[in-house]
Structure 1
Amino acid sequence: MNATNFEKIYRDEDVNLELLTDKVVAVIGYGSQGRAQSMNMRESGIKVIVGAGDRHRHSSWDKAEADGFEVYSIEEAVQKADVVHILLQDPAQPSVYYESIHAHLRPGQTLSFAHGFAVLYGTIKPPKDVDVVLFVPNGPGPVTRQKYKDGSGIWGCVAVDQNISGQAQETALAIAKAVGSTRVGVVVMTFQNETEGDNYEEQVLYGGTIHLMRTMYNIMVKNGYPRSFAYAKAIRSIRSIIDDIDEVGIEPYLTSRASRTCEFAVRHSGPRVINEEEMEKIFEETENGIFARNWLQEFSLGMPTLHRMRRTCAESDMEQTGEIWREKFGK
């Protein structure tokens, strides 16, 4: 592929941070991402306030204050802000939005998300007189924070759903720059692509990898391998492989860093592990909204299936082995 055919990658020199320097960004939700992005933006010179629930019921209020932020009720933070940056968990967003945000928005504000789920699937319907954007760093909050502190950043993407001001994309990119993502690169995509791509990734890559690990561990233990050995092979060894592949690429890893036995194993037997037909089916279900419908239904019922699966997996032989393994061999 010719590099000129690749999508535009926005870096620091492409983005004007001054779009935010005289504005107030209200971060709603001071969890893992909320804390990381708030601190990064503040250190980039942006005025950040935090909106939290009742301080007597929400520990996030005290945490944000301890980190030196001005903290307000969500309603008051929205009223004070130019940019309302929602970093709550997806299922919690609609109720908080309609209870504390929607009625307090004013024309010309920017409503920003870190995932397009609520907007794409209509659980949140913003007013027509505000910009609606998203910015998401491709990693968890602590990594986003540590990368920023190290002088680097984490790859991210932005998207625009409503562009009332004519500068919605520029604002989203400025948020990305303040968090540190344009240090390494940010791409522009649609709300639909970001949401469904993320949902697909979590089902196939995260879900597939974790269940692959569990299945490999169980088969090895069932066939007489020591639990510590099975755990190391099924869980720990993937860390160095992923780091190498990320550094040089798959083919250079296979041909110059892996053993020839490993290369043959990957090329000969690897495809047998993958069920491409099921991966295609999951992709279609994601694009058709079936995954979103199932998740919203599960959440509305109090997540009974998810709670059962959590308990079953937490009590599994592999998880108990993992606790002992990390204690004896380190993290």
Structure 2
Amino acid sequence: MRVYSDADADLALIRGRRVAVIGYGNQGRAQALNLRDSDVAVTVALAPDSPSLSRAAGDGFDVMTPAEAAAGADVAVMLAPDEAQAAIYAEAVAPHLRRGGALVFAHGLNIRFGLIVPRPDVDVVLVAPKGPGTALRREYEQGAGLVALFAVDQDATGTAQALALSYAAAIGSGRAGILPTSFAEECEADLFNEAAVIWGAIPELIEAGFETLVEAGFSEEVAYFECLTEVKLIADLIYERGIAGMREAISNTAEFGALTGGSRIVTPQTRTEMRRILADVREGRLVQALIKDADSGYPRLEASRRRARAHPIEAVGKRLRALAGAVPPHTPLPGEEKEAEPGGGVAASAHAPDDADRRRR
């Protein structure tokens, strides 16, 4: 795979365009700020009742409705929640974005599953930073960047790839690496990971391990440290060294425990279920369920959030985080809290646009 960098990108391309960032949650805010700091002309597009209006204005942006912003833009960046984008595109972007303009997505979902069918006279590109918006902004401010994936779905002007690379460089990703993909590959892999690994399986494993120890008579505090706090330690080691390197860094006891226990949890049945989850993703069942939940006001998501907040591990974590140094502190960065932009006819999500974040999703 070829890895592109700043040397492959012409920043003058995006600097010569007027960019409308639609949405000002986690990714929207970070990308808008990075673009502006890269000398790109940026307007933020929000619904009149958006909770992000004051934040965007406070950050010094001109804030318009999506229709107004699209009418004055050369590039429309779709960073509202996935389930809201189709309505925003149909009602505000498609009628107003100029011929020869461009649509930029940070997640392939709406194109992959046909929720948005772009006009044939615009470029359609993907630029997907591989991390949350807060990390994208932090790395940019430190002179670094996050790796991003890019793809071209429609090249109406003959310059779509060059524009995608230029945009990726402007948000800082050219400092780290810009990797080619497709809308389908990015979308399917991301949705699978969210459902089957990172946001699905790992929290379930943490809660199940905590419950197992507490049921056996261990203190909640010890169970919390063992099953939750140490997740950060292993994540850091894997990130820095890879899985094999992580195993070389831990004790023989820990490594032998992993050898004997891991395959008893991740069984052939687990792998079969993973393949079923991937099939749900590829055949559109997961996205259909998301849209149905959104149209009904998110009853499944809200029920899941209530269950998570009520789990005993949350009360333990709150107590331990109050002890100085007991748990690695986490101070939210500006814009890190969950939020989203209401979008035409679709109930507003409680998640930030980083879910594309994947943003993350």
TM superposition score category, shorter chain reference? over 0.9
Instruction: Return the letter of the residue paired with 1:84.
Output: A
Aligned to 1:231, which of 193, 215, 224? 224
Deviates more, 1:243-252 or 1:84-93: 243-252
Structure-2 separation of matches of 1:310 and 1:12: 41
Task: Check if 1:20 corresponds to 2:14.
Answer: yes
Structure-2 separation of matches of 1:288 and 1:122: 12
How many Å apart are 1:109 and its aligned residue? 0.3
Aligned to 2:313, which of 309, 318, 322? 318
Aligned twin of 2:240 = 247
| 3-state SS of 1:241 partner | helix
- Write out aligned runs for 1:160-179 (5 A): 160-179=152-171
Aligned twin of 2:41 = 47
How many Å apart are 1:49 and its aligned residue? 1.2
Deviates more, 1:33-42 or 1:289-298: 289-298
Instruction: Return the letter of the residue paired with 1:199.
Output: L
| 3-state SS of 2:197 partner | helix
Aligned twin of 1:299 = 294
Structure 1 stretches of 4+ with a deviation exceeding 3 A read none
How many Å apart are 1:156 and its aligned residue? 1.1
How many Å apart are 1:280 and its aligned residue? 1.6
Instruction: Return the letter of the residue paired with 1:123.
Output: L
Q: CA RMSD in A?
A: 1.3
Matched-pair contact (CA < 8 Å) for 2:74–2:98: no
Matched-pair contact (CA < 8 Å) for 2:5–2:177: yes
Matched-pair contact (CA < 8 Å) for 2:124–2:160: yes
- Write out aligned runs for 1:101-250 (5 A): 101-206=93-198, 207-250=200-243
**What TM-score comes out, normalization by structure 2 length?**
0.86
Structure-1 separation of matches of 2:71 and 2:304: 41
Matched-pair contact (CA < 8 Å) for 2:73–2:97: no
Matched-pair contact (CA < 8 Å) for 2:121–2:156: yes
Structure-2 separation of matches of 1:64 and 1:285: 37
Structure-2 separation of matches of 1:318 and 1:253: 26
Specify every segment of 5 or more residues in structure 1 that has no aligned partner in the other structure, as ranges.
1-6
Instruction: Return the letter of the residue paired with 2:4.
Output: Y
Aligned to 1:277, which of 272, 280, 287? 272
| 3-state SS of 1:103 partner | coil
Aligned twin of 1:29 = 23
How many Å apart are 1:268 and its aligned residue? 2.4
Specify every segment of 5 or more residues in structure 2 that has no aligned partner in the other structure, as ranges.
330-361
Structure-2 separation of matches of 1:193 and 1:95: 24
Aligned to 1:262, which of 254, 257, 280? 254
| 3-state SS of 2:185 partner | helix
How many Å apart are 1:148 and its aligned residue? 0.7
Structure-2 separation of matches of 1:122 and 1:285: 16
| 3-state SS of 2:156 partner | coil
**What TM-score comes out, normalization by structure 1 length?**
0.94
| 3-state SS of 2:322 partner | helix
How many Å apart are 1:242 and its aligned residue? 1.1
Structure-2 separation of matches of 1:238 and 1:310: 21
More helix by share: 1
Structure-2 separation of matches of 1:14 and 1:192: 24
Structure-1 separation of matches of 2:245 and 2:135: 26
Aligned twin of 1:71 = 63
Q: Deviation per CA, 1:124-177, whole angstroms, max 9, x where unpaired?
A: 121111011111111111111001111111111011111111111111111111
Count of residues paired in the alignment = 322
| 3-state SS of 1:9 partner | coil
Instruction: Return the letter of the residue paired with 1:236.
Output: T
Instruction: Return the letter of the residue paired with 2:102.
Output: T
Structure-2 separation of matches of 1:22 and 1:308: 46
Structure-2 separation of matches of 1:283 and 1:171: 31
Instruction: Return the letter of the residue paired with 1:62.
Output: S
Identity %: 36
Structure-2 separation of matches of 1:31 and 1:281: 32
Deviates more, 1:260-269 or 1:164-173: 260-269
Instruction: Return the letter of the residue paired with 1:169.
Output: Q
How many Å apart are 1:230 and its aligned residue? 0.6
Higher relative contact order (CA 8 A, sep 6+): 2
Q: Deviation per CA, 1:225-268, whole angstroms, max 9, x where unpaired?
A: 1111111111111111111111112112212x111111112222
Deviates more, 1:260-269 or 1:79-88: 260-269
Structure-2 separation of matches of 1:119 and 1:300: 19
Matched-pair contact (CA < 8 Å) for 2:74–2:97: no
